Amino acid sequence: MTLIWISDPPDVVSMSKRFLPTDIGITREDASLAYRELHDRGLIERIEVADSDKRTDRLSVRLVVQGLNDSRHAGQFRAEEFGYPGARIAGQVTAGQEAFVELPKTLASTLGRWFKEPQALTELRDALQAQMGEDRVYIEGAEVKYRDEQPVLLICFRYPFDADLKPIEKELSELAPKWLMDRLVRLTPEV
């Protein structure tokens, strides 16, 4: 609302769907419900912006003041996704972090044979999320990267802003190689 006095046209405001819930201190679900309620009451309507101004996370809405700028052709309601996974953990705002997990030499060479190019490991991401718990951390992704021609694991995650990062990184550096080792044992043919 503070930006409306400089918006063009003056009754339209553009906001980030991704950051709106965190910016105003509510959940993703509450943001969606509030958006629906304001639309149903005729207080806002969605406005399509010109292609040159379009950004995927932006939502432009026109503020409707009864008797002043009533809409003659209000559009149908279109549901929107607000926020993003991991924006809040246990009600707390999160910070993003990346951790490179160095691997034992044998495991790194095996990983290098499996993955010649950088590649996402969705199973590892899911396993880390399950083991670490949704109330502690949100694992955004896990992938094989190369540093100095050696494969390493890159884990991207979000954690509560006030949480201690060191124990989280330590646990990730223990769990990820263990998962890879277990996977290696399962894939190795029995003799």
Domain identity same for 164 and 115 = yes
Domain identity same for 12 and 49 = yes
Dihedral sign computed on CA atoms, order 188, 127, 117, 103: negative
Domain identity same for 17 and 97 = no
Based on the number of CB atoms within 10 Å of its own CB, is 122 exposed (0-12), middle (13-18) or buried (19 or more)?
exposed
Nearest in space to 127 (alpha carbons), one of 85, 87, 183, 167: 183
* pLDDT band with cut points at 50, 70 and 90 for residue 187: low
In a domain, 146, yes or no: yes
Which of residues 177 and 12 earns the better pLDDT score?
177
User: What's the pLDDT score for residue 25?
Assistant: 85
- pLDDT above 90 as % of the chain: 32
> Do the Cβ atoms of 74 and 122 come closer than 8 Å?
no
* pTM, to two decimals: 0.72
* Digit-coded pLDDT (tens) for 25-46: 888 899 999 999 999 988 888 8
Domain identity same for 136 and 175 = yes
* pLDDT band with cut points at 50, 70 and 90 for residue 7: low
Domain count, the chain: 2
In a domain, 75, yes or no: no
| Distance separating alpha carbons of residues 25 and 57, to the nearest angstrom | 18
Domain identity same for 54 and 107 = no
How much is the average pLDDT of 171-181? Answer: 91
Give residue for tokens 């790194």.
Answer: 108
In a domain, 58, yes or no: yes
Spatial strand order of the sheet with 12-16 comes to 12-16, 58-63, 44-47
In a domain, 27, yes or no: yes
Domain identity same for 181 and 146 = yes
Domain identity same for 98 and 181 = yes
In a domain, 50, yes or no: yes
User: What's the pLDDT score for residue 173?
Assistant: 93
User: What's the pLDDT score for residue 66?
Assistant: 73
CATH number, domain with residue 33: 1.10.10
| Distance separating alpha carbons of residues 48 and 165, to the nearest angstrom | 41
* Digit-coded pLDDT (tens) for 144-155: 888 888 888 899
Domain identity same for 110 and 159 = yes
Does residue 3 have a pLDDT over 70? no
* pLDDT band with cut points at 50, 70 and 90 for residue 58: confident
User: Which amino acid is residue 114, in one-letter code?
Assistant: W
44 forms beta bridges with 63
CATH number, domain with residue 103: 3.30.70
User: What's the pLDDT score for residue 191?
Assistant: 47
Domain identity same for 95 and 56 = no
User: Which amino acid is residue 179, in one-letter code?
Assistant: W
Q: What is the 3-state secondary structure (H, E, C) of 57-106?
A: CEEEEEECCCCCCCCCCCCCCCCCCCCCCCCEECCEEEEEEEEEECCCHH
In a domain, 156, yes or no: yes
Domain identity same for 54 and 95 = no
Nearest in space to 8 (alpha carbons), one of 59, 62, 54: 62
Domain identity same for 59 and 96 = no
In a domain, 35, yes or no: yes
Domain identity same for 168 and 109 = yes
* Digit-coded pLDDT (tens) for 86-137: 888 988 889 999 999 988 888 888 777 777 676 778 899 999 999 999 999 9
> Do the Cβ atoms of 158 and 93 come closer than 8 Å?
no
* Domain that includes residue 130, residue range: 90-187
